[in-house]
């Protein structure tokens, strides 16, 4: 996709309701297309999760459900299963709850326990057969999804030396990525098919990695690149030879491709790579920034440029930015100010939506 | 291992005569800190020279505040607790868009980098303040209004929250070494420190 010309991020709506900071967001898969209204889940320091649905008539989002009285502390992260049938929520109360939409209401159908303290993130693999969680106890847990909403822990992965902030499955392969307060990113894969998971690679300072806590990571749509963001004020782009990964022995190393520095002057909490190649970042300076690959002349590999910076996107830190998986150009952001904002990327002049 | 205070004999300074200055954010912020008491002793952080007017740097244009504080000794594991107290107090007094960074004064602590990293990681700070034991200690430092009496003995204190889980806390004062502060110290060492991954300096306790 060629991003020539000027762009702006237009604020479409402010979603209010949470009574404490909003930590994370998740767009429901397969919603916002084919006549199915778009659905967004948000989780907060107020211990609840809210489900927002777009009205087909007015186009605005309304809060359809508040998932409360389950978590007893901050809900830090939420993730929909690939089918959209289940929502997993990770909390500082050391549990992960699984919710199902049953006849108009969301019901907690399972609670995963095991972490010694705060759970910080939860992620489903591409097929929905596995779930991963991570937390301050430095461990990463892998759970198998069984019929009847049963979850079995298949592995507890030790290796990080500090608090693990995020886990994310690769978009097409069962390879797990984690990032941590110990400044490193770890890649975990299964040896054969016998639940023997181990760390196959660590990306840290010794191989051009981050020099402070890594808060988040995101893959491009092809799955051959990922972007990571950190308290060290940089974004880093990593790449792997995907053909090599898919064939036989499975493991191709991830290599540092590019570091984006000088664009952020406070911690970057969130980063998300859209289907059409735009990287969005949310940071502690209340701004949202968008980056795209610089197509003019490859130097020593890809380079990236700032597409736009939205100053004062929120009144306080931006904790999460998520592109809609179904509609190009639609972005949601969550903040310490307790609000969620829906944005539309438009090209200037004129206010036409991006071509699909 | 002695169940003693981490710093049993801090140097206490007289309260400074306050020179009236034109009201500005710097003054407002400093005034807020005047009465925060030390977690271990019935003195304010100002009296123990943990904080002074020079500790606070305000950039109103950028919307940034930097607070540097000096723990009373190099291995003070109370440093993170003091930092948490500062953060919590700031919330009510500083405009929401202001960014606050809290650090120990350079060279004043053996684990300076580690303490600074924890104090400026808002996820870690948020989780720590949700821990009931740590929360209670922070509240006592911030809201106890008789600064010359030992912690936990005020008639005017809010009643302890009965719904909070009670760990292995000594419920009646146990006099060790002639001081009720040792009770607090015991609680701090066994309950609160693990909750925040504070640095445990074994040589401090030997």
Q: What DSSP element (H or E) covers B12?
A: none
Measured between CB atoms, which of A92, A136, A316 is closest to B96? Answer: A316
The model's pLDDT over A256-297, given as tens digits with 9 standing for 90+, comes to 999 999 999 999 999 999 999 999 999 999 999 999 998 776
Chain A residues touching B97 at Cβ < 8 A: 286, 315-316
* Distance, CA of A43 to CA of A26 (rounded, Å): 9
Token pair 């009646």 is at which residue? B172
CB contact under 8 A, A45 and B99: no
B60 near A CB under 8 A: no
User: A338, A20 in Cβ contact below 8 A?
Assistant: yes
Chain B residues touching A337 at Cβ < 8 A: 96
Band the pLDDT of B128: cuts 50, 70, 90.
very high
Chain B residues touching A76 at Cβ < 8 A: 123
Mean pLDDT of B180-189: 42
Chain B residues touching A285 at Cβ < 8 A: 99
Residue B33 class from Cβ within 10 Å (0-12 exposed, 13-18 middle, 19+ buried)? buried
Token pair 């500005």 is at which residue? B24
Closest C-alpha among A263, A225, A293 to residue A3: A293
Residue B76 class from Cβ within 10 Å (0-12 exposed, 13-18 middle, 19+ buried)? buried
Residue A307 CA from chain centroid, whole number: 21
Q: What is the pLDDT of residue A316?
A: 96
Measured between CB atoms, which of A165, A284, A315 is closest to B99? Answer: A284
Q: What is the pLDDT of residue B177?
A: 26
Band the pLDDT of B56: cuts 50, 70, 90.
confident
Beta-bridged to residue A54, according to DSSP, are: A61
* Distance, CA of A51 to CA of A107 (rounded, Å): 13
Higher pLDDT, B9 or B61: B61
Mutate to test the interface with A, among B123, B192, B196 (most CBs of A within 10 A): B123
- Among the ranges given (A241-245, A346-350, B170-174, B183-187), the one the predictor scored with the smallest mean pLDDT: B170-174
Contacting B residues, span 82-121, partner chain A, CB-CB under 8 Å: 96-97, 99, 117, 121
Longest dimension (CA), chain A: 57
* Distance, CA of A114 to CA of A143 (rounded, Å): 11
Angstroms from B98 CA to nearest CA on chain A: 8
CB contact under 8 A, A120 and B117: no
CB environment A46-82: b (16+ within 10 A), e (fewer): bbbbbbbbbeeeeeebeeebebeebbebbbbbbbbbb
CB contact under 8 A, A118 and B127: yes
> Could you say which DSSP state residue B189 is in?
I
Mean pLDDT of B114-138: 93
Q: What is the pLDDT of residue A245?
A: 73
pLDDT over 50 at B160, yes or no: no
* Distance, CA of B100 to CA of B12 (rounded, Å): 28
Using a CB–CB cut-off of 8 Å, the residues of A that contact B are: 21, 45, 73-74, 76, 92, 117-118, 120, 136, 163, 165, 181, 212-213, 231, 266, 284-286, 315-317, 336-337
Mutate to test the interface with A, among B91, B111, B126 (most CBs of A within 10 A): B126
* Distance, CA of A236 to CA of A264 (rounded, Å): 13
Q: What is the pLDDT of residue B72?
A: 76
B112 SS3 class: helix
* Distance, CA of B141 to CA of B184 (rounded, Å): 12
Q: What is the DSSP pairing of strand A119-124 with strand A105-112?
A: unpaired
Residue B172 CA from chain centroid, whole number: 23
Count of alpha carbons within 13 Å of A212, Cβ hemisphere only? 18
Q: What is the pLDDT of residue A293?
A: 93
* Distance, CA of A45 to CA of B103 (rounded, Å): 25
Closest C-alpha among A10, A113, A12 to residue A70: A113
A80 SS3 class: strand
* Distance, CA of A8 to CA of A255 (rounded, Å): 32
Enter the pTM of the model: 0.84
Q: Between A and B, how many residue pairs show a Cβ–Cβ distance under 8 A?
A: 38
Ranges of residues in chain A whose predicted pLDDT is under 70: 1-2, 4, 248-251, 297-298, 350-356
pLDDT over 60 at B147, yes or no: no
Angstroms from B33 CA to nearest CA on chain A: 23
CB contact under 8 A, A165 and B122: no
B79 SS3 class: helix
Contacting B residues, span 134-153, partner chain A, CB-CB under 8 Å: none
CB contact under 8 A, B127 and A74: yes
B169 near A CB under 8 A: no
Tell me the H-state helices in B132-192. Answer: 132-143, 181-187
* Distance, CA of B85 to CA of B88 (rounded, Å): 5
Band the pLDDT of B22: cuts 50, 70, 90.
very low
Mean pLDDT of B59-68: 88
User: A46, A18 in Cβ contact below 8 A?
Assistant: yes
Q: What is the pLDDT of residue A337?
A: 97
CB contact under 8 A, B123 and A285: no
> Could you say which DSSP state residue A88 is in?
E
The torsion angles phi and psi of B58, rounded to 5 degrees, stand at -120, 130
Q: What is the pLDDT of residue B191?
A: 47
Q: What is the pLDDT of residue B205?
A: 31
CB contact under 8 A, A317 and B122: yes
User: B75, B108 in Cβ contact below 8 A?
Assistant: no
Band the pLDDT of B16: cuts 50, 70, 90.
low
Q: What is the pLDDT of residue B76?
A: 67
Q: What is the pLDDT of residue A354?
A: 53
- In order of B79, B158, B188, the CA distances from B184 in angstroms are 16, 17, 6
B64 near A CB under 8 A: no
Cβ neighbours of A150 (radius 10 Å): 12
- In order of A27, A290, B53, the CA distances from A324 in angstroms are 6, 15, 48
Higher pLDDT, A282 or B28: A282
Token pair 């030879």 is at which residue? A241
What own/partner pairs with CB < 8 Å and gap ≥ 24 does A47-50 have? Answer: A47/A20, A47/A71, A47/A72, A47/A73, A47/A74, A47/A75, A47/A91, A48/A18, A48/A75, A49/A75, A49/A78, A49/A87, A49/A89, A49/A99, A50/A17, A50/A18
Mutate to test the interface with B, among A44, A115, A134, A136 (most CBs of B within 10 A): A136
């Amino acid at each position: 996709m060629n991003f020539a010309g000027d762009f702006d991020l237009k604020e479409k709506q402010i979603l209010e309701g949470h009574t404490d900071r909003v930590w994370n967001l998740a767009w429901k898969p397969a919603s916002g297309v084919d006549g199915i209204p778009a659905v967004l889940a948000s989780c907060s320091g107020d211990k609840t999760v809210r489900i927002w649905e777009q009205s087909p008539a007015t186009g605005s989002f309304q809060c359809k459900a508040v998932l409360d009285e389950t978590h007893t502390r901050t809900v830090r992260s939420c993730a929909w299963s690939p089918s959209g049938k289940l929502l997993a929520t990770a909390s500082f109360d050391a549990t992960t709850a699984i919710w199902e939409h049953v006849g108009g209401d969301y019901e907690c159908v399972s609670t995963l326990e095991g972490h010694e303290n705060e759970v910080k993130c939860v992620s489903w693999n591409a097929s929905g057969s596995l779930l991963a969680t991570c937390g301050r106890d430095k461990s990463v847990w892998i759970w198998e999804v069984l019929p009847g909403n049963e979850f079995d822990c298949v592995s507890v992965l030790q290796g990080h030396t500090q608090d693990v902030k995020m886990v994310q499955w690769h978009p097409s392969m069962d390879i797990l990525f984690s990032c941590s307060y110990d400044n490193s990113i770890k890649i975990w894969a299964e040896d054969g098919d016998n639940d023997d998971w181990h760390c196959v690679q660590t990306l840290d300072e010794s191989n051009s990695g981050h020099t402070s806590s890594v808060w988040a990571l995101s893959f491009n749509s092809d799955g051959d690149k990922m972007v990571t963001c950190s308290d060290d004020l940089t974004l880093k782009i990593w790449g792997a030879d995907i053909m090599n990964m898919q064939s036989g022995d499975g493991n191709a190393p991830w290599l540092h491709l590019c570091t984006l520095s000088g664009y952020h002057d406070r911690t970057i909490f969130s980063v998300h790579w859209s289907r059409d190649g735009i990287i969005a970042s949310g940071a502690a300076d209340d701004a949202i920034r968008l980056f795209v690959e610089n197509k003019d002349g490859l130097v020593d590999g890809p380079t990236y440029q700032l597409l736009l910076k939205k100053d004062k996107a929120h009144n306080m830190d931006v904790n999460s930015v998520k592109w809609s998986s179904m509609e190009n150009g639609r972005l949601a952001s969550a903040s310490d100010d307790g609000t969620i904002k829906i944005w539309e990327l438009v090209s200037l002049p004129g206010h036409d939506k991006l071509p699909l | 291992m002695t169940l003693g205070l981490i710093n049993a004999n801090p140097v206490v300074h007289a309260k400074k005569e306050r020179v009236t200055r034109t009201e500005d954010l710097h003054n407002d912020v400093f005034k807020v800190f005047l009465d925060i008491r030390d977690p271990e002793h019935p003195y304010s952080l100002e009296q123990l020279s943990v904080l002074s007017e020079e500790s606070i740097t305000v950039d109103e244009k950028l919307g940034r505040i930097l607070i540097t504080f000096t723990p009373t000794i190099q291995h003070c594991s109370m440093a993170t607790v003091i930092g948490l107290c500062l953060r919590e107090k700031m919330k009510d007094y500083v405009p929401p868009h202001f960014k606050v960074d809290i650090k120990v004064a350079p060279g004043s602590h053996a684990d300076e980098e580690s303490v600074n990293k924890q104090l400026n990681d808002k996820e870690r700070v948020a989780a720590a303040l949700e821990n009931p034991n740590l929360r209670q200690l922070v509240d006592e430092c911030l809201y106890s209004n008789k600064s010359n009496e030992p912690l936990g003995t005020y008639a005017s204190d809010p009643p302890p929250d009965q719904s909070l889980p009670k760990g292995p806390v000594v419920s009646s004062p146990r006099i060790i070494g002639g001081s009720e502060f040792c009770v607090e110290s015991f609680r701090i060492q066994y309950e609160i420190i693990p909750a925040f991954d504070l640095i445990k300096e074994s040589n401090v306790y030997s």
